[in-house]
Amino acid sequence: MMLYHARITAIGTYVPERRLTNHDLEKMVDTSDEWIVQRTGIRERRISEPRQYTSDLCAAAVNDLTRRYGKSVSDVDMIIVATSTPDFPFPSTASLLQHRLGIPATGAIDISAACAGFVYGLHLANSLIASGQHRKVLVLGAETLSKITDYTDRTTCVLFGDGAGAVLVERDPDESGFLSYHLSTDGSGGPHIYQTRIADKMNGIELIDKQLLVQNGREVFKWVVRTVPDGMQQVVDKAGLSFEQVDWFVPHSANLRMIEPLCERSGFPLEKALYSLVHFGNTSAATIPLALDIAIREGKIKPGDRALLYGFGSGLVQAGMLVRLQLDPQVNAPAAW
């Protein structure tokens, strides 16, 4: 069976205008700017308007992509939206986006893999194109987490923000931009981070009955630090490379205090880690594309650079992927951030 090559050809992002700073949170819960920065590295996050939803952020991110790269999305043959905060359980956010963009004929699906969702979306896009069944796939990671955040819980409300990132994955006649991947799941850790909807019990455990995000940060932290460095190593090994041959590490921007031990345990230099949490907080599926785009706009990422993308979160799931980026460094239009 012939396998086709795929690569990322364009990127776009969007965050809402409203800022929620640490000083704002000081007025809402028992916390302080110093406490938040020391424990998370976050200084502010963006918050969607009351009637601004995930599909709106997705559309704005795609508009940014087409404006900057001059790409058309009218012939996209699959839309994949990774989100934990869809506008509706159904119809899918991807189908709402299809209508907004006016794409005449395309597949459209949402995937639920929490903070690993964007990397899962890339993995699916690459697989669809490699199989020869698709030529052009739009992948988005987008969240409006503020709509499910409990702003009376000082341990979680300081973390989350809203945002969206979109990339175009296209068939390439010469070489693949996707070098290797690693996926892993530990469903026994599901009760450590969840949002209730229909079910009120998981793995035999009674859940808190509210439609808000619930997280046991300590347990999630221990799982990430214990398992992700090994997953990072597996991604690099599968590509036949070493960490020294990887230019950038782009982890899920959950918490700077989580990224630091990942770099320490894997031996990857912290100064080569890209993250979006300082000004955008934890945007779940959107953190990795936001971090990538910040680095592209700043001219850090050069054509041919290898980046290790690694998402991890509720499930408990993790997904790592090594990609070679060929995005035009001249497309560094200032963001309206």
**pLDDT tens, residue by residue, 122-131:** 999 999 999 9
pTM over 0.75: yes
Pair (26, 135) in one structural domain? yes
Give DSSP secondary structure letters for 204-269. Answer: TEEPP-SSSEEE-HHHHHHHHHHHHHHHHHHHHHHTT--GGG--EEEE--S-HHHHHHHHHHHT--
Catalytic residue ranges: 115, 252, 282
Examine the pLDDT at 202 and tell me if it is beyond 80: no
Same domain (yes/no): 162, 18: yes
The domain in which residue 80 lies consists of 5-172
Whether 198 and 131 share a structural domain: no
Please tell me which residue, 27 or 225, carries the higher pLDDT value: 27
Specify the pLDDT at position 187.
66
Residues 157 and 214 both lie in one domain: no
Across 274-288, average pLDDT? 96
Rounded Cα–Cα distance for residues 1 and 30 (Å) = 60
pLDDT tens track for 215-269: 676 777 787 789 889 999 999 999 999 999 999 999 999 999 899 999 999 999 9
Number of folded domains that form the chain:
2
Say if CB 169 and CB 125 are below 8 A apart.
Answer: yes
Residue 221: its pLDDT value, please?
A: 74
- Whether residues 310 and 232 share a domain: the answer is yes
Mean residue pLDDT across the chain: 89
The reply to whether 334 falls in a domain is no
Residues 163-172: what's their mean pLDDT? 97
Amino acid, single-letter form, for residue 45: R
pLDDT reported for residue 314: 77
Average pLDDT over residues 189-213: 60
Residue 142: inside a domain: yes
Residues 145 and 85 in one domain: yes
